[in-house]
């Protein structure tokens, strides 16, 4: 059960981080796509690929980077937050109790389960495609003995194979020492075949297979985000344009022949399918326009790229705001009834608290897995027993969410608050004054829970505090 809890909570934390970065990443992707379609047409494709680095890094490591903002910005944030709270206040009061009651008696399909199911389906599909392709290669492929091909493949330690209706040296689903060619491709003239072989060798030189595998993994993890799919296809197109530009740089006199070759492939001159020579008309047209565009000089192009990269990074930076706390009705009541001293250390405050359940037993201490900022306890005698207020205070929030289930937050003054999660029933309401040891709820297993238990958490000014000492740990 301990290991299961760690795994479940780890998945929850990862999923929450991924959800948190979804909107910022989507904004960055849209910004880059717009810039690429408008003001970056004369920038070389290799610099276009460079622009994706911050977004890919954020997708691979889904942790927001926080930056401080000015107090003036913090005040603006407070105004926006107050406006949002005013708009949603009536809706929350209408629906809150309904949600709590339904959550107590209904088993929900958690979004984490749907997310994992999507990843599993895509992973199985990817593995199946790789297996079918490799089976086909083993059963149908023939060795290539064409000297026009061998002079390049031998130089790069590649094994050329002939397979009908397929072509790529950069397929991520096959062995990386293979170059797979179609019979139709070998019917091209020497100069055209040379251009295609060089194009495919550039994919290997620039490690495009590794990039393609990375993009496949990202697409699986973020399968629910359509903007990630747009990025996926765009990066592949830019890898093709990057190889096109390199070919023309090395063979500038063959730009017309290379352009005709792209058009012939699009028109169905050959019947093989190719990663390098896309059959989609719009992609081919874009590649042709890219070859004809006059490019900026390197210094100027790099300056523009770095500027655009800086703009695209801004949505990925989370603002760390110190929002001034406003006096609420709860604060007014607390200032009148609470006997907590004005300056009380965490150790002193914890020593004044009582146990939240009877006959408690700890199942998960503070930090028993990454991100666990509380203590999980059970009542082994009465599994769904009473939950008590550990100290006097005011109920400032009750509700339900998919992770914490039914929860209560009690404010004890001077920034101290206690949080009670996974409750089966709630007996208190917002702004209600409660006394120490008063029954406020029943133990439950709502939200993400492997069994009935209470997650108790203590915070001071929104910073979690280790509360294990309350239980003699």
CA distance 259 to 255: 6
One domain, residues 226 and 353: no
Phi, then psi, of 135 in degrees rounded to 5? -65, -45
208-221 vs 226-250: helix axis angle to the nearest 10?
Answer: 170
One domain, residues 344 and 287: no
Average pLDDT over residues 166-189: 72
> Is residue 312 in a domain?
no
**CA-closest candidate to residue 305, choices 29, 38, 35:** 35
Cβ neighbours, 10 Å, residue 325: 11
> Is residue 127 in a domain?
yes
Structure confidence at residue 394 (pLDDT): 93
Structure confidence at residue 66 (pLDDT): 55
Residue 11 above 90 pLDDT? no
Q: How many CA atoms lie within 13 A of 48 on its CB side?
A: 28
Comparing 285 with 229, which gets the higher pLDDT? 229
One domain, residues 341 and 280: no
Structure confidence at residue 3 (pLDDT): 63
One domain, residues 349 and 260: no
User: Residue 203 CA to chain centroid, in angstroms?
Assistant: 27
> Is residue 324 in a domain?
no
Global pTM value: 0.62
> Is residue 8 in a domain?
no
Residue 170 above 90 pLDDT? no
One domain, residues 262 and 127: yes
- Residues present in the chain in total: 473
Structure confidence at residue 267 (pLDDT): 64
> Is residue 458 in a domain?
yes
Structure confidence at residue 391 (pLDDT): 93
Task: Give the helix/strand (H/E) hosting 265.
Answer: helix 255-266
One domain, residues 287 and 162: yes
Q: Are 45 and 290 in contact (CB under 8 A)?
A: yes
One domain, residues 278 and 389: no
Structural tokens at position 140? 């149908």
Q: Which CATH number covers residue 400?
A: 2.70.70.10
Residue 264 DSSP class: H
Residue 158 above 70 pLDDT? yes
One domain, residues 449 and 352: yes
Strands 178-181 and 159-162 come out as parallel
Structure confidence at residue 91 (pLDDT): 43
One domain, residues 152 and 260: yes
Confidence of residue 255 (pLDDT cuts 50, 70, 90): confident
Q: Are 352 and 343 in contact (CB under 8 A)?
A: no
Comparing 464 with 304, which gets the higher pLDDT? 464
Report the DSSP beta bridge partners of residue 320.
Answer: 68
Q: What angle do CA 428, 422, 107 make, to 5 degrees?
A: 110
Among 183-197, 286-300, 373-387, where is mean pLDDT lowest? Answer: 286-300
Task: Please identify, among 240, 265, 293, the residue that sits at the C-terminal boundary of a domain.
Answer: 293
One domain, residues 287 and 382: no
**CA-closest candidate to residue 387, choices 443, 455, 338, 324:** 443
Structural tokens at position 96? 């809150």
> Is residue 381 in a domain?
yes
Among 2-11, 296-305, 361-370, 394-403, where is mean pLDDT lowest? Answer: 2-11
Task: Please identify, among 268, 293, 318, the residue that sits at the C-terminal boundary of a domain.
Answer: 293
407-448 pLDDT, tens digit each: 999 998 778 899 999 999 999 999 999 999 999 999 999 988
One domain, residues 239 and 343: no
What does pLDDT average to over the chain? 78
Average pLDDT over residues 125-144: 88
Comparing 293 with 104, which gets the higher pLDDT? 293
CA distance 422 to 442: 9
Residue 284 above 50 pLDDT? yes
Structure confidence at residue 319 (pLDDT): 47
Average pLDDT over residues 281-288: 80
Structure confidence at residue 144 (pLDDT): 87
Domain housing 144: 112-293
CA distance 232 to 25: 13
> Is residue 259 in a domain?
yes
Q: Are 469 and 455 in contact (CB under 8 A)?
A: no
Average pLDDT over residues 219-228: 94
201-220 pLDDT, tens digit each: 888 888 888 899 999 999 99
Residue 107 above 50 pLDDT? no
Structure confidence at residue 435 (pLDDT): 92
CA distance 166 to 89: 60
Average pLDDT over residues 150-159: 86
CA distance 454 to 374: 10
One domain, residues 272 and 389: no
The total of structural domains in the chain comes to: 2
Q: Are 224 and 118 in contact (CB under 8 A)?
A: yes
Average pLDDT over residues 80-101: 44
Confidence of residue 283 (pLDDT cuts 50, 70, 90): confident
> Is residue 165 in a domain?
yes
Using H for helix, E for strand and C for coil, what is the string for 398-463? EEEECCCEEEEEEEEECCEEEEEEEECEECCCCCCEECCCCEEEECECCCCCCCCEEEEEEEECCE
CA distance 209 to 213: 6
Cβ neighbours, 10 Å, residue 102: 12
């Amino acid at each position: 059960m301990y290991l299961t809890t760690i795994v479940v909570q780890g998945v929850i934390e990862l999923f929450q981080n991924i959800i948190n970065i979804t909107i910022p990443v989507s904004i960055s992707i849209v910004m880059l796509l717009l810039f690429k379609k408008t003001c970056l047409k004369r920038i070389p494709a290799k610099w276009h690929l460079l622009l994706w680095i911050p977004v890919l890094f954020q997708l691979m490591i889904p942790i927001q980077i926080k930056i401080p903002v000015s107090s003036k910005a913090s005040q603006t944030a407070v105004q926006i937050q107050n406006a949002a709270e005013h708009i949603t206040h009536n809706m929350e009061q209408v629906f809150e109790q309904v949600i709590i009651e339904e959550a107590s008696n209904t088993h929900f399909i958690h979004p984490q389960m749907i997310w994992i199911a999507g990843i599993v389906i895509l992973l199985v599909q990817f593995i199946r495609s790789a297996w079918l392709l490799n089976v086909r290669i083993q059963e149908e492929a023939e060795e290539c003995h064409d000297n026009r091909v061998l002079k390049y493949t031998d130089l790069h330690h590649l094994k050329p194979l002939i397979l009908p209706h397929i072509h790529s040296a950069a397929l991520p689903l096959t062995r990386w020492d293979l170059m797979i060619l179609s019979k139709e491709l070998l019917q091209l003239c020497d100069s055209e075949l040379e251009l295609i072989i060089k194009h495919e060798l550039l994919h290997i030189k620039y490690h495009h297979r590794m990039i393609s595998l990375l993009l496949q993994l990202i697409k699986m993890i973020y399968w629910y985000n359509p903007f990630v799919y747009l990025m996926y296809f765009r990066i592949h197109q830019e890898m093709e344009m990057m190889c096109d530009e390199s070919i023309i740089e090395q063979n500038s006199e063959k730009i017309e022949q290379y352009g005709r070759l792209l058009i012939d492939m699009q028109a169905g001159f050959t019947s093989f399918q190719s990663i390098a020579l896309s059959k989609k008309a719009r992609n081919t047209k874009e590649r042709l326009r890219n070859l004809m565009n006059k490019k900026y000089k390197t210094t100027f192009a790099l300056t523009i790229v770095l500027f655009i990269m800086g703009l695209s990074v801004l949505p990925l930076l989370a603002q760390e705001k110190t929002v001034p706390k406003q006096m609420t009705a709860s604060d007014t009541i607390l200032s009148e009834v609470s006997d907590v001293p004005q300056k009380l250390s965490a150790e002193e405050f914890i020593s004044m608290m009582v146990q939240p359940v009877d006959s408690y037993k700890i199942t998960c201490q503070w930090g028993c897995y990454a991100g666990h900022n509380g203590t999980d306890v059970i009542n082994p005698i009465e599994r769904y027993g009473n939950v008590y207020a550990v100290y006097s205070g005011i109920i400032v929030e009750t509700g339900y969410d998919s992770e914490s289930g039914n929860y209560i937050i009690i404010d004890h003054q001077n920034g101290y608050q206690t949080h009670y999660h996974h409750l089966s029933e709630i007996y208190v309401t917002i702004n209600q004054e409660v006394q120490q040891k008063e029954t406020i709820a029943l133990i439950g297993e709502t939200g993400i829970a492997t069994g009935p238990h209470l997650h108790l958490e203590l915070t001071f000014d929104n910073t979690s505090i280790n509360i294990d000492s309350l239980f003699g740990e």
